[in-house]
Amino acid sequence: MSAAVEVGPERPDGTGAVRERQRVAPPPLPALVVGTVTHRRLRPIGHRVDHRHYSWLVDLDDLPDLPRPLRWLASFRPEDHLDAGRLGGGIRGDLVRFLSRRGVAVEPGDRLLLLAHPRSVGHGFNPLSVHWCLTAANEVRAVVLEVHNTYGQRHAYLLHPDARGRARVGKEFYVSPFNDSSGTYAVRLRLDERVAVSVRLERESQVVLTATLAGRTRPGTVPHLLWTALTLPLMTHRVSALIRAHGTWLWLRGLPVRPRPDHEDVTR
């Protein structure tokens, strides 16, 4: 998966080194991202999953405002993301505080984008949502990967992608019952008319699994939403059900379950 990017100005990455920023070309927002999710487990048991999928790409300063009769199809609620809107300001306020506490200042003119499932038909769940902080020149100032597991826990990782949209971060969060919290995530991101997020879990120089969300954007208009919701119905419900179904299948095949450690949500 290659990302079409340009090179932006150099910046410190917090370690004394100088790195180039990724420059992206986000589509008009809000947008639907329609494509596939692929999950490939390589060891100790091979298993591959491919599903048709859609999510939303939105600007946190201009969230979709659907007609009242359609709001049950898509609503973006602070309680479904990061610090659950605990200190006010909605999802945007939580993201700004998360970045600030880690030394990333959101400047006037920056755009804060979110790739996620909205709450739909009463259910909200995002195995992975992605927050971008973009400069006015569409350079990536920072990215936050927010991960949720099926035990009601969440964790957020701060990334500084290079000019090709690549970043690495240590795994800290128990997601799948078949993997502990060890290893490293290798991430690659693309943001233009095609949106893609690829995450590879590496442990002891071996690739354990890969997960990729990729799709093309279409305008987040009512006609597009209705058509997409009809062809891919109950998306958040399907995602939750499929995770559990595939987990049960792996357990029946003998994949051992790893103990789930205590975890303090790192989303503030």
Phi, psi of 78 (to 5 degrees): -55, -35
Residue 205: predicted pLDDT = 87
pTM of the model: 0.89
Q: What is the dihedral of CA 87, 122, 243, 190, to 10 degrees?
A: -60
Looking at 1-15, 41-55, 242-256, which range is the least confident one?
1-15
Mean pLDDT, to the nearest integer, of 146-153? 90
What does the domain layout of the chain look like in residue ranges? 6-35+55-164+220-252
CA dist., res. 80 & res. 109, Å (int): 26
Q: Which of 78, 113, 126 is nearest to 235 (CA)?
A: 126
Residue 167: predicted pLDDT = 97
For residue 15, name the pLDDT band (cuts at 50, 70, 90): very low
For residue 247, name the pLDDT band (cuts at 50, 70, 90): confident
User: Cα separations (Å) of 167 from 21, 53, 142, 266?
Assistant: 11, 24, 11, 19
Write b or e for each residue in 5-20: b if 16 or more Cβ atoms lie within 10 A of its Cβ, otherwise e: beebeeeeeeeeeeeb
- pLDDT of 104 > 50? The answer is yes
- pLDDT of 80 > 60? The answer is yes
CA dist., res. 168 & res. 54, Å (int): 26
Task: Express each pLDDT in 222-235 by its tens digit.
Answer: 999 999 999 999 99
Residue 18: predicted pLDDT = 53
